[in-house]
Amino acid sequence: MAEYLSPGVYVEEFESGAKPLEGVSTSTAGFIGLAARGPVSGLPLLITSPADFARAFGSYLSESAFGTYRYLAYAVNQFFMNGGSRCYVMRVAPEDAKAASGGGEVLSVTAKNPGAWGNQIRLSFVPASKAKTQIYEELDGNRYRVKNASAFYPGDVVVFTDGASKQGNTVVSVHDGVIELASALSGDVTDTSLVPSKVIATSEFTLQVAYGTESETYEKASLNPEAPNYVEKLVGRSNLVDLSVVAASSADAPYALIAGSAGGESYSFALAGGSDGSASSLSPADFIGVDEGPGRRTGIQSFIDNDVVSIMAIPGVTDPNVQLSLVAHCESLGSRFAILDLPREATKVQDVLAHRDLFDSSYCALYNPWLQVFDPLDKRNIFIPPSGTIAGVYSRSDSTRGVQKAPANETLRGVVGLDVQYNNGEQDVLNPAGVNLIRAFTGQGIRVWGARTCSSNPIWKYINVRRLFIFLESSIKNGSNWVVFEPNTEQLWARVQRTIDAFLTRVWRDGALAGTSPSEAFYINIGRDTMTQDDIDSGRLICVIGVAPVKPAEFVVFRMTQKTGSE
C-alpha cells in the first residue's frame, strides 16, 4: 500500500481491465540438414531469404557426394519461393568432416566450422602500430617520461627509432606518463622538438581474413594478452575463424614472429585440411542430435531453445528413427508441427502405406510424391522432397487466409513436374490412411490435394484443426504470463476471463471458429466451478476453455435428381 504522510493530492494508476492478448506466429519454419558450411551446434540461425541462407550455409551440395542428404538448400529455396518469410536452420555435418586449419608456431587458426569451404580462407598480415610518442626525459631504472603514454600497456612490444637504427623492447609498466622498459635503451633517446626524429612506438599488425566476397579486418592487433587489442579478443567475434595464440613470449615484433623468414611488407597464408566428410559416415544420431546443455545442443535437440518455430522439417531424410524423433519433439513441446517426406522409392501404394503405418500422431503430416524443380548447380531438372515446398505453402496459407484454413488446394510455385502421377483410385486408398498427395490437374497446375494428419483419432484428423489449437494454446500461454503470482481471487479470475474472451472473439470474427455467435464458438469457465479450495491453496488457477474449430469441406457432394413436368 502507498504511504500518505503529508497533505496533498495523490494520483495513482492501476490496471483493472483485460490485457491485450496477441496471437503468435504460425508461419516460421525450422529446417535441419547438411550444408556446405555453418555452425553444427548451438542455436539455429534465423534465415530471411535464399541469399541469407547462401551467406550463412553456402551453396548447393553435389548429388555424387551426398545423395539424398543434400536437399536442405533446395528446401529452403522452395520455402521462400512458395510464400515463406522466415525460417531457422541448423546444420548437420558427417562425423568425418574436418575444419580447415593453419598458422605456425605463434598462431593457431581454425575455420569456424567443419567443411571444405575453410580451405578457401586466407589470412593476411601487415605491420602496424597503434601508438607512438617521443621521450622527454630519461629516468633511473629503465624508466622514461614520454609525451603521451595513454596507448601503451604492460607487455607491449615497442620499437625505438632515431632515424638511423632501431631498438626493440618490452613495456614493463606504465604510470603517470612514465614508461618502464624491460631493458635500458642505448644512446641519446630524448627528443623535445616539435617534430621529433626519435620516437618510441608500439609494434602490432593488421589482420585481414578473407573468404570469397566476405572479408574481416582487425586493425592494430597485438600479441599482448594485457592489451585491449589482443588478437584473440579481436578475432573472437569473427564469423570465419577461431584463432588462438600458441606462443608469444619473445620480445621480437609480433609481425616478425608470425611471418618469420617469409616476412616482407606483408605476409599471408591459406587454411588447409578442411573436409566435408562422406555421406556413408552419417547416421540417424547426427540428425537427432545430442543435448549437452544450453548453447551446445545439435540436430533436433538444438530447437529446444527456440520458441518461435511452429513448422519443422528435415528435407529428404526419411529414416524412421529420425522422423519419429522429430514427431516426438513436436509432441513434447506441443507448439510445432512436423512435415514428413516419404522415401522416393516408395511409390507403390503398399510401400507408401508401409511407411505411413510407422506414425500415429496429430503433430505430423506425410506428403508424396517428390517434386521436379530446376537445379541451379547442375543446370537441369531434378526431383526433391516436398517438405520444404509444403512448409512454404503452410506459411503462405497462414498469411493470406489464416491458420484455420486447411493448407490444401494450393498451387506449388517453382515445381514443373511430379515423380509419380497418382490417380483417383490410388488416392481413395491413401487419403483415408492420412497420406497427402500432390497432384497435377489439367489447367490448374500442381496442387496439394490432401489435408490430413497421421493421427488415428478422428478428432485430430485435419491439419488445420491441430495447427489452430497450437496457435490458440501458444497465444494464450504467451499472453498470460502476467497472471503468475497475482492474488488468486475473483478479481483476477474476471480479468483472465475478459482477456481470453476478447482474444477468442477476435479469432471467431476472423473465421477460425464455427458458430453464428461467440457463445456458439467458444466458452470459458474459471472460478469455483473449475477450482477447489485445495487448488487455490496449492497456487493453481484453472481455466477451462472450449472452442469449436472450423473443419474443411473435404468432400463436396452435389446430389442431383431429374425434375419431371408434374413436379
- Cα distances (angstroms) measured from residue 203 to each of 53, 127, 189: 40, 8, 18
Tell me how far apart the alpha carbons of residues 369 and 355 are, in angstroms, rounded to a whole number. 13
pLDDT band at 265 (very low <50, low <70, confident <90, very high): confident
Q: What is the pTM of this model?
A: 0.89
The residues with which 207 forms a beta bridge, in sequence order, are 125, 218
Q: Are 254 and 222 contacting, i.e. CB atoms less than 8 angstroms apart?
A: yes
The structural architecture, per CATH, of the domain 29-96+285-465 is 3-Layer(aba) Sandwich (3.40)
The CATH architecture to which 130-202 belongs is Beta Barrel (2.40)
* CATH 3.40.50.11780 segments of the chain: 29-96+285-465
Give me the amino acid identity at 314: I
List the strands of the sheet with 122-128, edge to edge: 214-221, 204-211, 122-128, 267-270
CATH architecture of 101-127+205-270: Sandwich (2.60)
**Is 189 a residue whose pLDDT tops 90?**
no
Domain ranges in the chain with CATH number 2.40.30: 130-202
What DSSP string describes 75-111? HHHHHHHTT---EEEEEE--TT-BB-EEE-SSEEEEE
The amino acid sitting at 204 is: E
Q: Which pLDDT belongs to residue 553?
A: 85
**CA 560, 562, 565 angle in degrees (round to 5)?**
145
Q: What pLDDT is recorded for position 101?
A: 93
Which of 77, 103, 80 lies closest to 28 in space, CA to CA?
A: 80
Interatomic CA distance for residues 469 and 482, integer angstroms: 22
Distances (CA, A) of 312 to 27, 32, 270, 307, 337: 11, 8, 38, 12, 6
User: What's the rounded mean pLDDT across residues 129-135?
Assistant: 90
The H or E element spanning position 161 is strand 157-161
- Distance, C-alpha 59 to centroid of its chain: 17
* Per-residue confidence band for 262, with pLDDT thresholds at 50, 70 and 90: low
Amino acid letter, residue 409: N
Strand ranges across the sheet with 29-34: 45-47, 87-92, 29-34, 311-313, 337-341, 364-368, 435-441, 445-449
pLDDT in tens, 20-78: 888 899 999 999 999 999 999 999 999 999 999 999 999 999 888 888 899 999 999 99
Please give the Cα distance from 303 to 297 (Å, whole number): 8
Those residues whose C-beta lies under 8 Å from the C-beta of residue 303, and which sit 6 or more positions away, are: 30, 32, 44, 88, 90, 309, 312, 329
Residue 145 pLDDT exceeds 70: yes
277: left (phi over 0), alpha (psi -120 to 50) or beta: left
